[in-house]
Amino acid sequence: SGPILVLAVGDARIDNAKFKHTFAAKAKMIKPEECEQIIGHAPGGVCPFGINEGVKVYLDESLKSMDSVLPACGTSDTGIELTIPELEKSSCCTGWVDITKTLD
């Protein structure tokens, strides 16, 4: 239990059934005004680096279709290009999950 941060490709959306099956709970987005307090970054800069203690990071399988990704770095005007293995290592992720769907 507790807050989790799931990284996925930009056009993916949470599949509620998959999420509930994986985490045994209903998906609930953090309110924008609570994001910085709970995760450690304000909306627009949320990333898997420098987050609050106790926030678990998961990588969604949708990322495996990418050669590299451009996550934010704590603010809305910073970012970094990482390969998927680099993201996996630098995010200190708890593991991989399959909880998204893409919109057609």
pLDDT band at 102 (very low <50, low <70, confident <90, very high): confident
pTM as predicted: 0.91
Domains of the chain: 4-99 (3.90.960.10)
pLDDT > 90? residue 5: yes
* pLDDT tens, residue by residue, 57-67: 999 999 999 99
DSSP per residue, the chain: ---EEEE--TTEEE-HHHHHHHHSS---PPPHHHHHHHHSS-TTS--SSSPPTT-EEEEEGGGGG-SEE--B-SSTT-B--EEHHHHHHHTT-SEEE--EEE--
* pLDDT tens, residue by residue, 19-55: 999 999 999 999 999 999 999 999 989 999 999 999 9
Q: End-to-end distance of the chain based on CA atoms, in angstroms?
A: 32
User: Average pLDDT for residues 64-83, to the nearest whole number?
Assistant: 92
pLDDT band at 90 (very low <50, low <70, confident <90, very high): very high
